[in-house]
Amino acid sequence: MKLSEHKNLKLEILALPPKEKDKLLLRLVAKDKVLTEHLHFLLLENEEDLKDRVDAIKSTILEEMQLLSKNKHLNARDVLTSLRKLAKLVNHNLRVTKAVLEDVELRIFLYNNAITDFKGKVHSSIKNYEDIFATYFVKAVLVTLRKFEKLHEDLQYDLKNEMEKLLHKIYQSKMYSTAIFLNLPEHL
């Protein structure tokens, strides 16, 4: 049931005494983890805390990629699993902070630091994980590119070199045919 569909309910909620509204608000916030984190960020944190969050996520990305690089039998499935997990972390950060610039920065950082060269193949009669990985990676970069293009040009300027580096990385790897197929530009 959406509140917008029930105008009378909305009016009654607005007419509640402040103490009762506060009680209801606290109960609702307690039921939603992301909303609780968002309110904590909004009300109790500042720009320095946002920078700390971004730095912590970057450290997690680097640690994860270092762990993967030590795997002698590294394959596309392992990296894909790791990338999806790290992308969830970046998505969660966006939902909590609503910081669009930092979201684009983290996505570019994630994909620039991702391992894209595999030694072993995963043999499966059903799935070709190298193709699945390439499609996932290029589509994720396309989403990142769209977000990048929506930023103000001054902010784009700050991230332009890293974005170019990411596009170059794709076109210098085995993913170039997938990039061409999905219309990923080779340059900005």
pLDDT digits (tens, 9 = 90+) for 88-98: 999 999 999 99
The more confident residue out of 122 and 37 is 37
Instruction: Decide if pLDDT at 182 tops 90.
Output: yes
Share of the chain above pLDDT 90, in %: 62
> Hey, where are the domains in the chain?
46-181
Question: In b/e form, how buried is each residue of 154-185, taking b as 16+ CB within 10 angstroms?
Answer: eebeebeeebeebbebbeeeebeebbeeeebe
pTM (predicted TM-score):
0.86
Mean pLDDT of 73-92: 94
Mean pLDDT of 125-137: 83
Model pLDDT, residue 125? 52
Q: Quick one: which of 8, 2, 99, 10 has its CA closest to 52?
A: 99
pLDDT digits (tens, 9 = 90+) for 140-176: 999 999 999 999 999 999 999 999 999 999 999 989 9
What end-to-end distance do the CA atoms of the chain give, in Å?
44
pLDDT digits (tens, 9 = 90+) for 5-41: 777 888 888 888 989 988 888 888 888 899 899 988 9
